[in-house]
Copies of this chain bind each other. A is one copy, B any other.
Amino acid sequence: MQVFQREFRLPAFPRGFHLITERVEREMPELRSLRAGILHVFIKHTSASLTINEDADPTVRKDFESHFNQMVPEEAPYYIHNYEGSDDMPAHLKASILGSSVSIPVTDGRLNLGTWQGIYLCEHRDRAAGRSLVLTSYGM
């Protein structure tokens, strides 16, 4: 059994949903040495998140932004936590709905994703700095 772990910082992304699959793979070249295992990707923030979804058509990622803005509105009358800006509390909620980690099987040295699957960085703040990720891969 082998374990590899690496922390790195993504550059700042604008609010919205962004593909980061290739960047993640590049940061963890040791994936190639795993015949069977898991890659765990974790984001160390509470106003951005990670998910896996369709990686071909950019309109899907635009509709994600539109729908999450509708499902988790800014300025909801019941928010108490609003002194960090109107995008802050919705960002926390979206982050928990989508989640702070994804885990993906590794098979024969590669991420075993479906044909259309990619890893999204979900940036929920209007003006965020870069985001720190921790990659942990393990297997044999």
Contacts and interface: CB of A to CB of B under 8 A. Distances in A.
Interface string A82-125: 00000001001101111111111101000011111100100000
A138 interface: yes
A136 B37 contact: yes
A126 interface: no
Contacts of A105: 5, 40, 42, 134, 136
A96 B51 contact: yes
Given A44-B112, A78-B63, A53 B103 contact: no
Contacts of A36: 3-5, 136
Given A3-B1, A105-B134, A60 B96 contact: no
A101 B104 CA distance: 8
Please provide the 5 A-B residue pairs with the shortest distance between their CB atoms, ordered closest to farther: A44-B114, A1-B1, A59-B81, A5-B36, A66-B78
Nearest to A122: B96
A40 B102 CA distance: 11
Contact of A5 (B59, B107, B113): B107
A10 B54 CA distance: 20
B67 A76 contact: yes
A44 B113 CA distance: 6
B44 A64 contact: no
B134 A112 contact: yes
A40 B114 CA distance: 16
